[in-house]
Structure 1
Amino acid sequence: MRISLPAFTKQQYEHLYLENSRKQRLWIMNRFNHFTPETKKSYEQLGLALAIFMKCKDQTETLLVSDGLCQLYHLKRKELMAYFNGAAADEHYSLTKKRVEVLVNQILGADRQTITVRVKINNFYHTLLLHAKRQQLADGSLLCFIDYFDLSADQLEVTPKADRNAPDAPRYKDDLTGLVNTTYLNRFGRDFLVDKLDEGLRPVIILFNVTGMRAFNDRYDYRQGDRLLIKLGQILVQTFTSGLVIKHSEDRFIVLTTATDYIAKIKTAQKLFVAGISNSLTNIKAGIYYYENRAEGMEAALDKARQALQYTGSDLTQLYHVYDSAVQESFGNRDYVLTHFWEALDKRWIQPYYQMEIRSLTGQICGYEALARWIDPDKGILSPATFISVLEDMHLINLLDLSIVEQVCETIHDCLEDGISVQPISINLSRVDFQVCDIFQEVDRIRKKHDIPPYYLKIEILESTLTRVPGQLLLAMSKFHQAGYQIWMDDFGSGYSSLNNLKDFNFDLIKIDMIFLKDFANNPKSRIILSSIVNMAKQLGLHTLCEGVETKEQADFLRDIGCERLQGFRFSKPLPLEEVISLIHKNGYGHYEPVELNDYYDQAGLANLLVDPMSDSNVLDKRQLALPVSIIERRSDDSLRLYYIDRAYQKQLEEAGFSQGSWQDQINYSNVYHHLLLDLMSESQQTRVPATLTLNGFTINVRFLAKHDDRQMYVCTIQNFAQYVYLAQKCR
């Protein structure tokens, strides 16, 4: 947010600034006590313009500068640190070490925590409002935390415009590409745009970004990456012959042009760029902004092109986007999120909504997923898409996630205290959580505070997290597992390396992404892919849940192939806590799986119903099975209950005139064959291997799956099922 002096008095601005950013600054400064390489990196990535200095006796050293401060000064971090620490100097910046020491001394000696200073940046004088906090260490040295706000209403150019005609000056050239650089853009870019307006033309700012550059450098080395950037610079110069091409920052270029066919030129540049690149993830994207207001500064205009670029998101098929009302609204929402987040957190406008998970074997509710919802008193319900990515970018998402964990644990504790049956709840953790804090320690601390057993919380991690922070993730996953938590992979199949992730990371359950149910009724490939995923998961000993279930047809198919849990609007949308509790009282506990039976049904759910269920789940050489398969529960009174029958079993029952319910009665009252099943069950439970009997022309195979107190679960296959049905009826 940029605020100009004419809109506020200095006193009004200071009050507004301090009120809006007080908690952000306190959070940053308090967290500094836990300064580690990981937290240092997270502070450096902040969009807030922040510098941290240490003063010991008469020496002042710069400890770190944030991305926001580097952006303010238009310098790379290494360059800015060099200026601040006296290793470099430049006439275009008032950044000498002596100037920094004077500034720090001025702040440390001030009665107030805010002061206003004038500094020269890129040959423009800027008015900066600085807010500082001091912290004295045990050895007597002082830490000085300074965050900067550029009032920028009175920038004054201090170099002659004649230099504009000499872009070949070394200070205006990018060392790598030979193109003009950001220094030239900041000094003369606006003049170029205004001149074009004066000529009656419509200038356009195009910001290009190279995607997948990190992966390219990792694969081919940085020298090849430099050659790729040089190639792109040459392509842009050749394509935009009448425009101005600038090397902006690491992987970004800017084109100022009046070409009306700029979209065609962007597409041409993209085709030339990707030609010969084998890495499909390395590409270019563009953000476009029409410059129409001659009073608009270069930085403000460029920021809108940057917003248009960011609006393209991670969709590699979206080559460009023009700044429009949708972008403006999106980033307006971003500003709203950042300025109201702390209030929303304190007042619990952000709260969990709960979406039920259904056990396909029993039809009971076996758990919930806690999903963050922002219930704003002015704007209503904010979509997670509005605030999640913003908070991740600002490294604040861990505060939201931990608030959800806190509220979930409070709910579980209160329900247990009130005697309300409650099922385990899964909570989502962001990749950023693993970067900015010890997320295991934080979650476990909250759980212990509310005296909740760990099996009540399931940890969900997005598949995309695995490739971004693998080191931190492996360590945290090990801690979670050792403490008794289950870890679930969310959105399985949505990433580029799903199968490799299953090999490298130890998960307990995979949540199959809803994308596989898209066009389910009309695309038979969906069924093949889903069956293959479930079959593979069973062989790996992983539990399965499918998201996005919306129809009975989808639910029946997933149950048939042995997908253990189902989630989606077919059963319920995410609900606030009050509605969840109301449904529990309304439906009665018969609709809810007792938590003590979770492990029992989980063990039974690992039976592979797509291949021979008599063999171990990790045996790879299996054949597709056409035999009738059933899952049967034995109770303490030796009664048998059919929980599952497959399509082959159901078809033969229908041919014999039975429903699943009437057949269950038949096997319970058929004396000979009832006892025959009980004997096979007892044998398999004792030996932990399948028990087999061939008699009167049919063969029964029974395998023990799970046990809990007075109940046991078995899987059963029958060869020559028609003969078995006939004899069971006869012996009743």
Structure 2
Amino acid sequence: MTAEKGVLIVDDLELNRILLAEIFKGSYRVFEAGNGVEALELLRRETPRIDMVLLDIVMPVMDGFETLAVMREDAGLSGIPVVVITAGDDPDDEIKALNLGATDFITKPFDPRVVISRVRNIIERREIDEIKLENKMLRRQTLAQVQLQAILDNMIGGVALIEFSEQPHAIYMSPGFYSLTGCSKEVFEAHKDDFFFRVHPDDRPKLEAEIKAGMDGKAPISCEFRVIRVDDRPCWAHVQGIKISYPDSPHPVMIMIFTDITNEKENERQLMEANAELRYMAYHDSLTTIFNREAFSEMTSAMLRNNPDKEFVLICWNVERFKFINELFGKNTGDLILKDVAALLKREISHIGTYGRLEADHFAVCFPKDEIDIDALIERIKPCEDFQRNHYELVIHVGVYEIEDPTVPVDQMCDRANLALQSVKGNYLRRCAYYTDDLRSSLLREQEVVREMSQALEEGQFVPWLQPQYNHATGRIAGAEALARWEHPVRGLIPTGGFIPIFEKNGFISKLDESIWEQVCRLLRRWLDEGRPVVPISVNISRVDIYNPKLESILTGLVKKYDIPISLFRLEITESACVENPAQLIKVISSLRERGFFIEMDDFGSGYSSLNSLKDMPIDLVKLDLKFLLGDDEYQRGGNILASVVRMTKWLSLPAIAEGVETAAQADFLKSIGCNLVQGYLYARPMPVGDFEALLDASSLDTEQLVKKSENIIDVNEFWRADSQSSFVFNALLGPALVFEYNDGSIDMLRANDEFFSLLGLDSDHAPFHKLSLIDQICADDRERFISMIEAMSEGGEERAACICWRNGGGEELRRVKVRARMLAESDGRKIIFASLEDITDFC
């Protein structure tokens, strides 16, 4: 078939027209129309060049049925075969189309081979019908034989009349037939008793069998075969033939039409290769080349379905702290580790089960139970050499799900195995965990929470409870923290541990947070309207919220909507959020503070980089995690750490509030170290808004404490920075100097330069600084004079001096020292004092 034959594609979807045109490319001349009206115009204009119509049923302007009806009534168009494009799901449409003159159907989605075969058969059958009609008509004419040969000689493609006696014998072969094989007429004349000599040997039996069946049963034949051309060019041909009565031969005769389908076969080959490549890409992970999630799910489902009598396990794999490995050793090393794991799974599992990479560092395998020792398999994973040279241990954790019901979706099986995996994640002693009924119950509870969460939000089941914050020195309420509670209509109050972690995992926490924020703003507005006592309320900002680009506009929008002072609506951000993406967090906090929001760092002390958080984050208040800082405190370090942190916050001009205060002893300790703002069960548990309002009405307020700043005489922050000019000058002083804190008779050394240690007779690099007591260095008779000097300096604010007797290094040697002192800063009765010392022993 050459491009002389024309096919009209009528479809309102351009994509379908493009697909069909691609199928016919190189084999047929293609015409396109987007509806019935356009098709009829083309048909009337190009009738001689259009041999067949592919017609969609559902189209705008004029649909397929209307088009068929018009063509049937048009004598010039009624003979053109029409193949209807259908979805194949409505027999009534097909019957109606047939009644209107349709020849055949093709269904969506298109199979290129089916489309080509049907179109080719219909066009060739039409050609045969035309030939038969011409033959019948020519037999009635005196020049019938001459005219028939003229028609055959000028037909597109090869035509042959084959007589079958003892051997197939060619009565007639058209010029197109010689062109197809590349042989001359003389060559074929020499082989006229072996008509099949140019058919590929592998295809000859098939063709001969097809012809024999056609001659025996008088049915049309159709067959594809390879042609051995003289020039060795690859060539495919399609033959269609039918047994006819031929008056000039006493033997059976078959008329055969040969079509060159080489281009179609090449297009088909390329399409199959492209489909194979697309299928490979769709089912394989691009990095590791093993199966991806979709392929693993499909193959595992098939394996379970085909082996109902076997017991299987599904195992999910995870590389511990893989994100850290990528950051520490580089992405290339991380990729090599993933490839190593994939190669091991392929090598160990491919012959007994399925395997695949689900995502990132998550892999899954499924195989018959007891086929492999899982622990031994884990041990066989060896990281790449670059990784081993760094002496870093590669830790793999797995979760195992023993499959009881093979009809459960594979994704759900993976979820269960992952649930088991999460129970040992971070555990370096236990690498493997099995999915259990307890985990199943937990999963069911989680699914129930997920199923109900949206409706619960719409029905207002999530409400803020308030936990008061006190100044325990005065007993007054200084503020409150809003905590989300789920008041379920059936199950009552659901603990936060039963839904907050789930919401943080699936992202619903953002919607919950926004609801709580709005309820708090609405509450503050109501308090202001009713003239009630008002205290600032802190709301939580989750890690997920930090990445919300609309966070700032949401918060400012709420403040504007309810017209509340921004100072009453405070934002708490957990310290652990700093670890994930500190740059993003600093950016968000800075922007919010510029808008006027008061920022609190929640759970300080529970993260991995508390000091960095305190140094880098632009915050307004620190909330100390008392449970972490004190804990069991076997070595009694928690109290010292907490006291140091409180002192540090004071000199950074940051208010601090301790949360989780549960005992009177804890409260007394906090008061003794100057931390007066507290929150915890000792004072009040979180309570409904109504109970808090009653408590608020009966209490006095003390909101000033939440914003109190230290009164710095100089820029203390500048002094504490190691790279500041002030710090450089202090270290470079020629004489002894130190900085100490004074509070009600108690003196704690904070900093000292090398000259100071030299005066004591100590090595500054090895001196037990934390054990030095400044007051113990002063002779007992002079201690009162030293304290009086400090008290006088505090009252007057001016520099003071005193001569005291100094015990060198704590030993028996005494030296006379002149001390000059000046106050640097003061907060809550605590004073930071700078002192310079001068040895005047030789002058006394």
TM-score by shorter chain over 0.5: yes
Q: Which residue pairs with 1:253 in the alignment?
A: 363
Contact in 2 for aligned 1:289/1:304 (Cα 8 Å): yes
Are 1:545 and 1:565, in contact at CA under 8 Å, matched by a contact in 2? Answer: yes
Mapped contact 1:351–1:374 kept (Cα < 8 A)? yes
**Aligned-partner Cα distance in 1 for 2:659–2:669:** 14
Please give the alpha-carbon distance, in whole angstroms, between the structure 2 residues aligned to 1:186 and 1:375: 39
Deviation at 1:488, TM superposition (A): 1.5
1:286 Cα shift? 2.3
Q: After TM superposition, list the pairs within 5 Å mapping 1:204-283 onto structure 2.
A: 204-236=313-345, 244=353, 246-250=355-359, 251-257=361-367, 258-259=369-370, 262=373, 264-265=375-376, 268=379, 276=388, 283=395
Does the 8 Å CA contact 1:311/1:321 hold for their aligned counterparts? yes
1:177-196 matches, cutoff 5 A: 177=288, 179-182=290-293, 184-193=295-304
**Displacement of 1:303:** 3.3
Pick which of 278-287 and 290-299 moved more: 278-287
From 589, 603, 607, the counterpart of 2:709: 603
Q: Map of 1:453-532 to 2, 5 A cutoff? A: 453-470=565-582, 472-520=584-632, 522-532=634-644
Amino acid at match of 1:216: I
Describe the shift of the 1:627–1:435 C-alpha distance in structure 2 as closer, same or farther (beyond 3 A).
closer
Percent pairwise identity: 28
Contact 1:287-1:309 at 8 Å conserved across structures: yes
Tell me, in whole angstroms, the C-alpha distance in 2 between the residues paired with 1:492 and 1:119.
62
Shift of 1:313: 6.7
User: What do you get for the CA RMSD once the two structures are aligned?
Assistant: 4.8
Q: Compared with structure 1, are the counterparts of its residues 262 and 444 closer, same or farther at alpha carbon in structure 2 (3 Å cutoff)? A: farther
Find the aligned partners of 1:508 and 1:353 in 2 and give their Cα distance.
23
How far off its partner does 1:262 sit?
5.0
CA distance in 2, matches of 1:119, 1:259: 46
Letter in 1 for 2:546: F
Does the Cα contact within 8 Å between 1:538 and 1:617 map onto a contact in 2? no
Is residue 468–residue 481 contact of structure 2 (8 Å, CA) maintained in 1? yes
List aligned pairs for 1:553-702, cutoff 5 A.
553-586=665-698, 588-589=699-700, 592-593=701-702, 595-596=703-704, 598-599=706-707, 602-604=708-710, 616=716, 619-620=719-720, 628-629=744-745, 683-684=796-797
Q: What amino acid is the match of 1:291? A: I
TM-score with structure 1 length normalisation? Answer: 0.58
Deviation at 1:477, TM superposition (A): 1.7
- Where does 1:383-422 land on structure 2 (aligned, <5 Å)? 383-422=495-534
C-alpha separation between the residues in 2 aligned to 1:320 and 1:430?
Answer: 31
Q: Secondary structure at the match of 2:543?
A: coil
1:541 to 634, 653, 656: 653
Distance change >3 Å, CA 522–CA 314, structure 1 → 2: closer
2 CA distance for matches of 1:178 and 1:456? 56
Equivalent residue in structure 2 for 1:308, among 409, 420, 436: 420
User: What amino acid does structure 1 have at the position aligned with 2:684?
Assistant: S
Q: Which residue of 456, 478, 503 maps to 1:366?
A: 478
Which residue does the alignment assign to 1:145? none
User: Is the Cα–Cα contact under 8 Å of residues 471 and 705 in structure 2 kept in the other structure?
Assistant: no
Q: Summarize the Cα distance change of 1:625–1:183 in structure 2 as closer, same or farther, 3 Å threshold.
A: closer
Letter of the 1:628 partner, please give it.
Answer: D
Residue 370 of structure 1, CA deviation: 0.8
Alpha-carbon deviation of 1:574? 1.2
Partner SS state of residue 445, structure 2: helix
Q: Find the structure with the greater CA-based Rg.
A: 2
Q: In 1, are the aligned partners of 2:342 and 2:357 still within 8 Å (CA)? A: no
Shift of 1:617: 6.2
Separation of aligned partners in 2, 1:554 and 1:546: 10
Displacement after TM superposition at 1:223 (Å): 2.1
Go from structure 1 to structure 2 and tell me whether the alpha carbon gap of 1:702 and 1:403 turns closer, same or farther (over 3 Å shift). same
Could you list the per-position Cα deviations for residues 179-233 of structure 1 after superposition, in whole angstroms to 9, with x for gaps in the alignment? 455455334324544677625xx42211012343334334433322211112223
* Alignment check: 8 A CA contact 1:244 1:255 kept: yes
Deviations 1:43-74 (CA, angstroms, capped at 9, x unpaired): xxxxxxxxxxxxxx9789xxxxxxxxxxxxxx
Q: What one-letter code is carried by the residue in structure 2 that aligns with 1:256? A: C
* Inter-partner Cα distance in structure 2 for 1:317 and 1:428: 35
In the superposition, relative to structure 1, how do residues 185 and 343 fare at CA in structure 2: closer, same or farther (>3 Å)?
closer
Contact 2:320–2:425 (CA under 8 A) maintained in structure 1 = no
RCO comparison, higher one (Cα < 8 Å, 6+)? 1
Q: Retained in 2: the 8 A contact 1:517–1:549?
A: no
Deviations 1:104-152 (A, max 9, x none): x99xxxxxxxxx99999xxxxxxxxxxxxxxxxxxxxxxxxxxxxxxxx
Q: Once the two structures are superposed, what CA deviation does each residue of 1:444-472 show, in whole Å capped at 9, x if it has no partner? A: 22122222211112211122323445455
- Aligned counterparts of 1:560 and 1:699: Cα–Cα separation in 2: 29
Q: With structure 2 as the length reference, what TM-score do the two structures score?
A: 0.51
Distance 1:416 1:681, change over 3 A: farther
- The secondary structure found in structure 2 opposite 1:461 is strand
Structure 1 residue aligned with 2:199: none
1:654-711, CA deviations, whole angstroms, 9 ceiling, x for partnerless residues?
Answer: xxxxxxxxxxxxxxxxxxxx9x98x977744xxxxx67597999999988857xxxxx
Query: Counterpart in 1 of 2:464?
Result: 352
Distance 2:393 2:488 in 1: 38
- Any conservation in 2 of the 1:490–1:510 contact (CA below 8 Å)? yes
Aligned runs of 1:168-183 on 2, under 5 Å? 176-177=287-288, 179-182=290-293
In structure 2, the residue matched to 1:54 is none
Q: Is the 8 A contact 2:290 2:346 kept in 1?
A: no
Classify 1:119/1:226 alpha carbon distance in 2 versus 1 (closer, same or farther; 3 Å).
farther
Alpha-carbon spacing, 1:332–1:435, altered in 2? closer, same or farther (3 Å)? same
Q: Secondary structure at the match of 1:466?
A: helix
The separation in 1 between residues aligned to 2:459 and 2:653, in whole angstroms, is 43
- Alpha-carbon contact 1:308-1:327 (below 8 Å) kept: yes
Q: CA deviation at 1:577?
A: 1.0
2:434 aligned residue:
322
State the distance in 2 between where 1:312 and 1:206 align.
14
**What SS is found at the alignment partner of 2:601?**
strand
Q: 1:176 to 1:481 in 2, by over 3 A?
A: closer
> Aligned partners of 1:426, 1:700: CA distance in 2, in Å?
42
Report deviation, 1:360: 4.8
